[in-house]
Structure formats: structure tokens, C-alpha cells
Amino acid sequence: MKVAIAQINYTIGDIEGNTSLILSSIEQAKHDHADLVVFAELAVCGYPARDLLEFTSFVKQCNDAISTIAKACTGITVIVGSPSFNEDKAGKPLRNSAYILSEGEIEFIQHKTLIPNYDIFDEYRYFEPNTVASTFRFKGQTIALVICEDIWYNDNDPLYQHCPLEQMKSDDPDLIIHIAASPFAHEFAQKRIDTISNKAKKYSCPIISVNHVGAQTDILFDGASLMVDANGNQLFQCNRFASDFRIIDLDEINSEEITEIDKYDMIYAGLVMGIKDYFGKLNFKSAILGLSGGVDSALVAVLLVDALGKENVTSVMLPSIYSSEGSVVDAEELINNIDCKSESISIKAVVDAVGNTLKGQFEGTESGIAEENIQARSRALLLMAMSNKFGHVLVNTSNKSESAVGYGTLYGDMSGGLSAIGDLYKTEVFELCEYINRDKEIIPRNIINKPPSAELRPDQQDSDSLPGYDVLDKILYNYIEKQKGPAEISALGIDAKLVAEILSLVNRNEHKRYQSPPVLRVSNRAFGLGRRMPIAGKFL
């Protein structure tokens, strides 16, 4: 039996476009003499479709698409994910379904059993869980079909009441097919492979897993569709962060060498894909960013040029009276290295105008945060004016460490249509820059080596307000990703008073993050939909 794996970059809500991609892959599978072609979970509508699923007309269009796809299934069988209406009177209105289509007909439907409702997942808002899972026969073989979360049932920590693979194991399946919409997170990539391998060993059955690829606003899908044998050995893996199409002859399959997973390989490729898809799926053409001479904006500039092309990126240096000569020189050197468009606009006149306008109101007060923020907001004003005039999208350059503790200015350096590195801690920013420079120096060494500074007052450094980033990021990681409390974090050897101060900053600045642009997600717990904290709350 020949099985085609179609790893496709779908667009949420573009039912017609997604259907066209599916039909093209079916024709390719026919050309390659495949017996079966497998697509991902909810391929027809894209994932996550969120409240589009509440429109009856939307789900009806998905049903019509299934009928269209079925008509193309002559001489070949297709497995494809799509929402369906729940025919039971009780429960949620929809099912998350996998359709088996053949010879113009719907031969079999498997509904998803385990409906996730954690982190970025809120499927239980829309979908009724299945309670009885059944195998189906194809080409003389018994196939168990499961949908994404269905393979994640954990006997030691059962989150769900039913395990679909346990229900189907009595049929002694010859093959498990797993269709998924499994988002990328660098700490999760190997865990996904291990989980699939462990399930293959447990049920002594090979598994084919087909995943989404591409970015859906903030959520990245890395693809990496794969097959493991009945002993859990990985036989092959599709490309990461790129569409792919593979034919597997189950009677003659040979294992391929699998590239070792590298954190910064994945993060860099994921961020470039995320930027490219955000612009492409929204039909944006060009980006603009403020280039400070610091490490964050330098990293974002490199990512934008790689994703969009140097001709579509405009970097703007916006020096103030506090900008050091070194920062200007460093920014110019970076521009020479990446060869993007560039401008230099002094913000002095804007800052002076605001200061003169508020002279009466500020009289008798000391210069402080308000004056610093006027500088940041003056930069945003100029960047957004250029964005409006020339159709550029302003890309934010804040990192996760700064966002966590509120080290940024609302309507200033926190502005933008997309946050490219908002899920990277500062220490990870430095490490990703080193990764970029692994073969030759692209980001000037001085940008990486010099002490970080917002340059909003004389001789300012981040260390004036924050602990060293190695300590800060350790606190933040354990609080945000690992959800440890102050006592647990202090037990790691960090001063309890410092821990309390940092966690207080994180909690007090939730209102800022609530107004931030969408963040490309590369970790298990990014700021955004997956971390839902109250703004007006009191904890710790």
C-alpha cells in the first residue's frame, strides 16, 4: 500500500483556497500511484478557526468542500480533517472530524475523542467529544484513525475519561494514522516525536502522523510529519517549517537519516516563517522598524530581511540627544551588512515640541519617566506616520524579558502590528544572534557585546533597573513557563526579596501586555492567548 502525506500550509477561513491545495495534492498522489493520501486535522478550514466555527454558514461551506473533495476521489482514498455538525441533540454543536472519502462518497467519519482546553487550545468551546472510536478496513488492513490530542492520553496522569487507542486495540490494527494540528514550541518538538514513538511501541503498531505547517498569526506549525515503526523507530520525517509531499510504500519502506533537532535552527526558521506568513496571508508587502543600535532591533532587522527581502524592509534610526555615537555607528554597520533600506530622523524637534507644549503642566517637577516615555512615543509617532504614508507594517522589537517586567513604553517602543521576538528572553536573543553569526559576522560584534541600554537618559543601562539578564530570565522562566511560586524560585538559589520584586513587576504589568501586538509563539508559554492572567487581580 502506498500512502501519500500532504503537509500543507493552510489559511484559516480560506475554505476555497484550502480545498484547491487539497485537490492539487490528490492529483499529485494519483500521479504517483498512491492508494491513500492523508491531510491534517481541520485542513479544510484551517486551525485554529476559533469563533468562525460559530457561523453556521462557515461549517456548511466546509461540508460543501468535503463533497467537492469526495468527487475528486476516484481511484484513490483520502483522509482529511474538517468540522462537522453534531447530530446528537445534546452537547456542543460541532464535532472535530476526520473524513475518509472514496469514489465520490464519504466512506467513514471518525470524530475526535480528546478535546483539549488548555494553553492555546479552546476546542471544548466548540466541539463535542467522541466517546466511541472504531477502526476501518482499507486494502485488507485494519487502520486506527486518531486526531491530534487523541494520541496524548497518559495513563499516569489521565486528563480524559476515554482513550480512543485503547478502544481500538482489540481490533488489532495494522496501522495507526494520526492527523494533527500540533503547534510548534522548541521545548515540545522532541516530546511530540517521543510520544508518537512510545504509542507505537505500546500498541506494537506503526504510526503515520500528518501535521500542519505554517503560521496562523501568532501560532506556528512546524510540520515535521513522520512515520515510526512498530518498535517506535522513526523511519522518516517531512521538512520542518515548509510544505512537503511524500509517498511511502508501506511494503518497501526504508528508514532515512533524521536531522538532529537544534533549538536555534528551529527558532530561527520558525520566526522567519511566522513573519513571512503574517505578511503574506494578510497581503502586507513591506515592514518598517526602529533601529536603535541595540541587539533586539538588530535581530529583528535580520529576521525581516530574511523573511521579506531587503527591498521590503525599511529600518529607521531615530537618535535622541542621549543616543551614543557608538549606537549610531553600530546601526549603520548592521545596515551595510544586511543592505536594507534605511533612514535617519532625529527625534529632538518632536521631543522639544512636546516638552514646550507641556511646559506649564510640568513646571516645578523633576524630569523622570514621563520625559523618557515622550522620547519613546516620539519614535513611535514617526514610525507610524511612515507606516501610514507608505503602507509599511511596523514590526515590534521588544523581547520577552522586557515585556514581562514592563520595561517598555505603551504607545512607544511597544507599538507594532507584530511582535517578532516577543517570545524570546533576552538571553535567548543573544544566543540567537550568535547562531546568526555562526558562519560570518552579520550582526556587529559590538552590538552583542555592549551593555544593553534604552538610552533615554544620560549613561542609562538596563542594569540600573533590572538584575542581570541571566538571573532575571531564570526567575521569569520558572514563573511563566514552569508556573512556580516565589518560594520554589527562591529555593533555586535566588534572593527571595529579588524574586518577590520581579514577580510583582510581572503581575503589575499585565495591562501593558494586554495591549501589545501578537507575539510569534516559539515557547510552551508565550504571552497571549495561552497565558490568560487577570489584569485587575492580586496574587503573591
Which residues are tagged catalytic? Answer: 41, 112, 148
CA distance linking residue 515 with residue 23, whole number of Å: 40
263: left (phi over 0), alpha (psi -120 to 50) or beta: alpha
CA distance linking residue 410 with residue 370, whole number of Å: 12
CA torsion 200-205-206-211 (nearest 10°) is: -60
Residue 73 near residue 101 (C-beta atoms within 8 A): yes
Residue 400 near residue 527 (C-beta atoms within 8 A): yes
> Tell me, what amino acid is at 377?
R
Say how many C-beta atoms besides its own lie within 10 A of residue 91's C-beta.
11
Q: What is the DSSP string of 252-300?
A: S----PPPPP-HHHHHHHHHHHHHHHHHHHTT--EEEEE--SSHHHHHH
CA angle 125, 129, 131 (to 5 degrees): 165
Query: What is the DSSP code (8-state) at residue 212?
Result: -
From the number of C-beta atoms within 10 Å of its C-beta (0-12, 13-18, 19+), residue 18 rates as buried
CA distance linking residue 337 with residue 291, whole number of Å: 14
> Tell me, what amino acid is at 233?
N
CA distance linking residue 366 with residue 377, whole number of Å: 19
Residue 287 near residue 279 (C-beta atoms within 8 A): yes
Sequence-ordered list of residues with C-beta below 8 angstroms from that of 64, at least 6 positions apart, any chain: none
Q: What is the DSSP string of 390-443?
A: HTEEEEE---HHHHHHT-S-TTTTT--SEESSTTS-HHHHHHHHHHHTSSS--S
CA distance linking residue 18 with residue 68, whole number of Å: 12
Residue 342 near residue 328 (C-beta atoms within 8 A): no
H/E stretch holding 111: strand 105-111
Buried/exposed 269-286: b ≥16 CB within 10 Å, e otherwise: bbbbbbbbbbbbbeebeb
Residue 251 near residue 1 (C-beta atoms within 8 A): yes
Cell numbers linked to 90? 445534546
